[in-house]
Amino acid sequence: MSFLSEQHLDPTLRAALDRFLAEQIRPHFADPLHPPDLETTGKLIEATSALGLIPTPDWPGQGLWHDLPVNETLLILARVAAISPALAWALHLQSAGSKASQMLTGQPGAATQICTTGWHWPITEALLTGHEPRLPGGRRLWLAPATESIWFPVSVDAQQMRWTGIEPSRQPAVTIPAPHGNELLPYLEFAIVEAHAADAPTTSREDWIGLLARDLLGVIAVATGAAAGALHLAKEYATQRQQGGVVIAVHDAVRELIGRSQIAIDGAATALAALGSAPSAGDALACYAQWIDRLFAAADNAIQIFGGMGYMRDTGVEAYVRAIGALRAWSGPSALFARVLAADAAETTSAEPAEIAAERTKPLHPARSWQRLAATARPLVAYDPVSLWEEDTRRLPEPLAAWRRRYAQFARVHVAPLALEADLMSHDAEPPAAILDLLSRAAREGLLSALLPKPLGSLHWSLMRYPLVWLQTIRTEELCAAGGGLGLLLSAHYLGAVPILLSGDPISIRRWLLPAFRDHRRGIPHLFAYAITEPSGGSDVEDTEGAALYRPGTVARRKGKQWVLSGRKIFISGGDLAQTVTVFAALEGEGLESWTCFVVRKDDPGFRVVRNEIKLGQRACAATELEFDEIHLDDSRIVGKLRQGW
């Protein structure tokens, strides 16, 4: 991490910080699957006060945003965030909040927070643009971290904001329900007490912008560290993981990802260091608008470098991406700040709806020209689609349009209402009854058998003249638009069934697909899964160049009249619910040119679902690790022919 070697930190502080981080902080974050609990996180935050990083009741003037210069504060936050963005954000909230409290009350505050959670950027936009803002309603708040006092905005107008102190409701500290980033922080449920509103202190618009600027810089500092942490892991991985016969770090595509991320991180770190001790609010806004999306992309590249592994919690890389995403959602889109800066540069406020309406009345406005246009000429220029989706659908051949509408309807009525709950499922939970009902309905209505025409499957004959890939693209798009996880669950099934269809072998089709499709008609879902990826081969088992060098990890050995299948497959979508898995294996002693597809049933002795991964998203459909421990299969389990699996 290049910003770790920068010279902007006082050498004594840097040495102490490095020692502290290495000895007291990093060990707690070594295992991404077992992060510190809330109590430990609280203790780690407290421990930083010994280093003078956060203000305390005895030393209210010490710490980040206090006696440390702004650029040092930011670089320290970035260094902490490279290990734990959540911890760095907690340090920022405590110290910046204490500074803000000092401004509100005139008293030095300790561990205080200015609460803007969930209200942040609508208020920001209002105050920055000078419009009349509205405070959204809501009486319950989830705040992090646990602090001694909280200030909450109770009224806002274009010039100032009025605050009230609020107190925790009686509930104990709990983890926030379904957080999507920085979830290690302790959260308290707060009830808003408005009784103090009358004598509440106020902040001027300028002071508020100062508070905001501090928060935005804090976000960029934490995001810089988080992106650097993610890239650090990805670079290490890239020098160990082999695909195509070499470590992936030598592939141009991977180098480019690393290079792009490094540029963003170095650029942001340089910008933070260059801010000096008293950056203007405009500098802070510009810094945020310039870097937040690039830093998110930099961390996201790190996931891509890991391939499928990056999507799983084990590596720790996806947590950095979620942390930046959560901070960006909290602070507001970069476009908002770009707009504010643009309006400021032009010495205007950004337009309000009323002003836009007034524009339309001007003589040269296109809307006026339209009104003057003769009725006969209007159709020549009119384009008023009901919706782009509708427009697009109408252009499809009629059978495909009907097919698309059918899936859109199913997705809207049956998938969308379940999507959120399904994607919040724990990785090892039994699927809830609602998901099983959905599968059963999908089966009965023919959504799981549309690979063959009626009466064998559920595909209408009018659709047979269109390529299957087109049908499946439309189907998957509609289902996933309503829920990415459930969409994957309903689609991975076809991925598993298609090798049987593609074999073109009527015996395999009759033996494996038709009984499953018969079950579907009775509302019994019989799911398939597709198992190709192995621990040591993802790209290699899909790519001709890599495959030539690849040593297969799942192997079929001939024993008498049987095949004995051994090995492991990973990231297999829907492998936990599948009754049938199409498994690709090499023949013993041969390379990938012997790749053969075998049918494995879930009750075959030796078949085991080892675990479901903890995934970044699409949790409605488990990514499973499957084990084949000497599974005995006869020749009828070969899909198509031997060595025809590639």
Instruction: Give the residue among 140, 123, 52, 37 at the shortest CA–CA distance from 86.
Output: 37
Residues in the chain: 646
Give the nearest distance from C-beta 477 to ligand FAD in angstroms: 17
Give the nearer residue to ligand FAD in terms of CB position, either 253 or 346. 253
Maximum distance among all alpha carbons in the chain? Answer: 90
Q: How many CA atoms lie within 13 A of 580 on its CB side?
A: 26
Give the nearer residue to ligand FAD in terms of CB position, either 9 or 622. 622
Give the nearer residue to ligand FAD in terms of CB position, either 168 or 307. 307
Chain residues binding ligand FAD by CB under 6 A are: 241, 243-244, 248, 251, 253-254, 304-305, 307-309, 311, 492, 495, 530-533, 538-539, 542-543, 546, 571-573, 618, 623
Give the nearest distance from C-beta 569 to ligand FAD in angstroms: 6
**Minimal CB distance residue for ligand FAD:** 538
> What CA–CA distance (Å, rounded) separates 70 from 268?
15
Q: What is the DSSP letter of 158?
A: S
Tokens representing 40? Answer: 């430990």
> What CA–CA distance (Å, rounded) separates 323 from 273?
22
Tokens representing 179? Answer: 């957080």
**Exposure letters 596-614 (e unless 16+ CB within 10 A, then b):** bbbbbebebeebebebbbb
> What CA–CA distance (Å, rounded) separates 325 from 458?
42
* Sequence letter at residue 427: H
CB 565, CB 583: distance < 8 Å? yes
Give the nearest distance from C-beta 234 to ligand FAD in angstroms: 9
Give the nearest distance from C-beta 304 to ligand FAD in angstroms: 5
> What CA–CA distance (Å, rounded) separates 354 from 629?
70
Rg of the chain over CA atoms, in angstroms? 29
| Residue 80 CB-density burial (10 A; 0-12 exposed, 13-18 middle, 19+ buried) | buried
Tokens representing 308? Answer: 């499928």
Give the nearest distance from C-beta 246 to ligand FAD in angstroms: 8
Give the nearest distance from C-beta 195 to ligand FAD in angstroms: 50
Give the nearest distance from C-beta 491 to ligand FAD in angstroms: 10
Q: What are the Cα distances from residue 590, in Å, to 548, 556, 587? A: 11, 10, 6
Tokens representing 395? Answer: 């252009």
Give the nearest distance from C-beta 346 to ligand FAD in angstroms: 43
Give the nearer residue to ligand FAD in terms of CB position, either 97 or 538. 538
Give the nearer residue to ligand FAD in terms of CB position, either 195 or 253. 253
Give the nearest distance from C-beta 291 to ligand FAD in angstroms: 24
> What CA–CA distance (Å, rounded) separates 90 from 323?
12
Give the nearest distance from C-beta 134 to ligand FAD in angstroms: 40
Give the nearer residue to ligand FAD in terms of CB position, either 54 or 258. 258
Give the nearer residue to ligand FAD in terms of CB position, either 250 or 342. 250
Give the nearer residue to ligand FAD in terms of CB position, either 269 or 592. 592
Give the nearest distance from C-beta 565 to ligand FAD in angstroms: 15
Give the nearer residue to ligand FAD in terms of CB position, either 6 or 318. 318
Give the nearer residue to ligand FAD in terms of CB position, either 543 or 590. 543
Strands 140-143 and 555-559: unpaired
> What CA–CA distance (Å, rounded) separates 404 from 396?
9
CA 344, chain centre distance (Å): 33
Which H, E and C letters describe 529-585, residue by residue?
Answer: EEECCECCECCCCCCHHHHCCCCCCCEEEEECCEEEEEEEEEEEECCCCCCEEEEEE
Give the nearer residue to ligand FAD in terms of CB position, either 111 or 309. 309
